[in-house]
Structures are given as structure tokens and as C-alpha cells.
A and B are shown apart, each in its own frame.
Chain A
Amino acid sequence: MKEELSLTVNGQPYELYVKPKTLLVEVLRDHLGLTGAKRSCNSSSCGACTVILNGMAVKSCSVLALQADKGEVLTAEGLAVGNKLHPLQEAFLDHGAYQCGFCTSGMLMSSKALLDENPSPTREQIKEGIDGNICRCTGYNSIIRALTAVVNGEYKEAK
């Protein structure tokens, strides 16, 4: 039997009916067509499905959708305003902070959660902030460089 689920995703309210076993990543991808959050390891290991739920980074493959009921979700699709990319996205582009791009949306969401909590992290804190996200291309240094550039105010319109 399906249950009612209310979610606000990237500022847009949704009312839908889902099977109780549905995961948050499945609601986002399969029901709402928001494919930013990747379903990859499906076991909380890789972080490619990271979204921000009620202000906190979570792995959407490991959150039951109904447990997020009445919650506010931000996905990579919600970072840009119109055609204007979020400063983190600009910085990722400028610093080549991706190779295959598969981890990028999860990396962006962990980065956003980090900077929302601590706008001026040290290099060590940046590394801790993205610790739950795996980049199989091992492009960590460029990701750290992109984040550092945002922290250093090179992308003034940050946040």
C-alpha cells in the first residue's frame, strides 16, 4: 500500500504517493526526474547520492523517503539560480574539479553543507567535509582547490 509523502525539493512543494520501501534517492530520480543525486554503491559508501535534507548532508540511498516526510531537500539541480551557476559550481568548473563527473553533484552538496556550517574551513576541515564522498578518478586535489578558492572569496557571490 502506498503512503502519502510531502516534500519540498529545491523550493518546489510536491505531494506524492510512494511505497514505504522507497528510498529518498528513488523519489528524487524516479518520481521527480531529478537525476543529480546518483544511485551508485547503494550502500552508504560512496556519497554520490548526497543531498541536503533539512540543512544536513545525507546519503539519499540510505534515507527512507517516508522518514523525510515534510522535509526540505536541496539537490544539485537547486544550486543554480536560473542560468547563473552557484559559486561552488563556477569554482568546480574553473578548477577542473571533476573528471568523469559522476561524483560531482554529491561533492557539490557535501561542499555546500560544509560551507553553510563553516564558511571558512581550513584545508584539513575541507578534507573532512568531503570525506564521505568518493571520487573514483581521484581528483581530490582539484576539488579541494575549488573549495579553497570559494573560501578565499574568489567567488564573491558565494551562498
Chain B
Amino acid sequence: MIRDFKYLAPKTLKEALTLLDKYGEDCKVIGGGQSLLILMKQGLVAPEYLISIKGISELDYIEFDAKEGLRIGALTTHRAIEKSPVIQNGFRVLAEMETRLASIQTRNWGTIGGNLCHGDPAGDPAPVLMVLDATLKMAGLNGERAMPVEDFSLDYFETALEPGELLTGIQVPVPPPHTGSAYTKFNVIESDLATVGVAVSITLDSGGGVCRDVRIALGAAAPTPIRAKQAEDLLKGKKITDELLGEAGQIAFTEAEPVSDIYASEEYRRELVKILVKRVGKEALARAMQA
């Protein structure tokens, strides 16, 4: 049963920040609530004040320009991202990830900012945003700040947001030429969270043969989404082959720090990391060669 709370629905970012500052630890922010309401039903979260920011239209946008790249407001729904032609054309991996996130009903109401702030290491958006080198923008009454998405998650369900701060938006740079990115997750039921999720982005040199840059991010493989940096180092500067991707998977296997739970054991998750890094790496490479 959800415990009673007082409900506040600011209409502007300024109003929301003022309320956050006023109520501090006694309040909780709700976007679409697709994750939060479950925790509230379980009694794990029981705020005195619930601040609904869902109605703040200034945080619901998808914008693109060739210089700044893609900008997504924190309150943009998953479904809007999935269906955006700009994202489907220029940031395909982001749309593909959203298509696999939960169910249509959840994507219609849930927001990308809410997903990130929930801080579940099994969430789909974070690994993909990490390989896309995305930056998160946050605001408080004292001003704004930004940080790379990979610095945002600190631990299970814990983020770098300070009290009084809101996540306002996401900025994704235009990928360099000859870049390909891919994401997949392993799950038993299609609309479930990832048992393990893997995102890979590969940038080839202009000759199209050698790996100039690579990013590998793992979801549900550690207390937070993580980069597999040693696996990345193996690939950098080399001509990527299936065999080399297999080795990268093996290294990522050791970099992961998964837990055992009812969905999968630690060993099983490590195996998934090993296999998916290779598989997703191959897809990213194929896309980079076509790009």
C-alpha cells in the first residue's frame, strides 16, 4: 500500500526547484512514476511530499542541430524518443534501445530522465548514452552543472544528484564519421529489464580498417552501469576481427562485477557479458563500416 503524501505539481522548472529546496529530504520527485510507484507500493519509498514534474513542458523536447548535436529534455517519454525521426535517422541505437525498453504502455508514460534518476543498473538508457558520450545537465536554485553520463550513477539506485537538484536534459554529440553503435540486452520476457545489457560504439579511421575509438558499456553487470575500459583498450588502434572481439569479451568478463539474484547467477551474468560484448561489437563494427 502506498502511504499518504502531499502532492505538488509545479508548472515550471523554477517552481519545481523552489519546492525541492524547501522540502529537501522530505520530498521525492516523480516524472512518469513507472519505476517510483512500484517502490512506493512496496513501501520502500514513502515521501511526505511528492513533487510531480510531469507537467513541466519546458523539459519535454527533442532538438537537434549539426553543431550541438542532440538535446533531449529529461521529461521526454521513451515513446517519443523511439518514434522521433531525428533520432531514428541520426541516433539509431537510441531508438532501438527504447523499442526494447519495457512495454509500449510504460514507454508512453515513463520518461528518460526518470529512468536515469531511478539509478537501476539494469536500466536500458544509461549504457547506450555512455557509448554515445552523452552529457547530463542538472539544475538547482544555485545554478546549472553538467557531467558525463557515466559519472551519474554512484551505486544501486543512487545518483550524483545533490539535494535540491533536478536532472533537466541530456546532450548527445554528433558521432564522428565512420562510427557505428549497437545495443542489446538478454532477458527472458521481451518487456523485462536486462539480465545483462551491452552497448558498443566503434569509430574507424578514414581508411575504414583500424579502430580509432571504441566504447563498451555494460548494464546490470555491476552496481552501476560501467564502461569496460580494459576491453576497449585491447581494441583501440587495431584492426578489429571476430577473434579480437572474443578476447575483448573475455576481458569484459573479468571487468564486470555482477551479483546473483533470482534472474541469474553471477557466473551466468559474466558469461552473458562475454558473449554479448562480442555479438554487439560485431554489429557495431558492421555499422561503422557502412557509416
Residues of B within 8 A of A (CB-CB), count: 29
| Centre residue among B4, B37, B38, B103 by max chain A CB count within 10 A | B103
For A69, list chain B residues within 8 Å (CB).
9
Stretch at the interface among A58-66, A74-82, A97-105, A145-153: A58-66
Q: Does B67 contact A (CB under 8 A)?
A: no
- In contact, B38 and A62 (Cβ under 8 angstroms): yes
In the assembly, what is the distance between CA of A62 and CA of B109, in Å?
9
Cβ 8 A contact of B4, one of A21, A62, A129, A131:
A21
Cβ 8 A contact of A20, one of B50, B102, B105:
B50
- In contact, A47 and B37 (Cβ under 8 angstroms): no
Within 8 A of A (CB), among B24-77: 30, 32-34, 37-38, 40-41, 50, 52, 54-55
- In contact, B30 and A132 (Cβ under 8 angstroms): no
In the assembly, what is the distance between CA of A62 and CA of B105, in Å?
10
For A56, list chain B residues within 8 Å (CB).
79, 108-109
For B108, list chain A residues within 8 Å (CB).
56-58
For B157, list chain A residues within 8 Å (CB).
none
For B106, list chain A residues within 8 Å (CB).
44, 59, 62, 132
Q: Mark A29-68, 1 if CB is under 8 A from B, else 0.
A: 0000000000000111001001001001111001110110
Cβ 8 A contact of A132, one of B3, B6, B50, B103:
B103
Cβ 8 A contact of B52, one of A47, A59, A66, A131:
A66
Q: Distance (Å) between the CB of B9 and the closest chain A CB?
A: 7
B residues bordering A, Cβ < 8 Å?
A: 2-7, 9, 30, 32-34, 37-38, 40-41, 50, 52, 54-55, 79, 102-106, 108-109, 190-191
Q: List 6 A-B contacts (CB under 8 A).
A: A57-B108, A59-B106, A59-B109, A62-B105, A62-B106, A67-B9
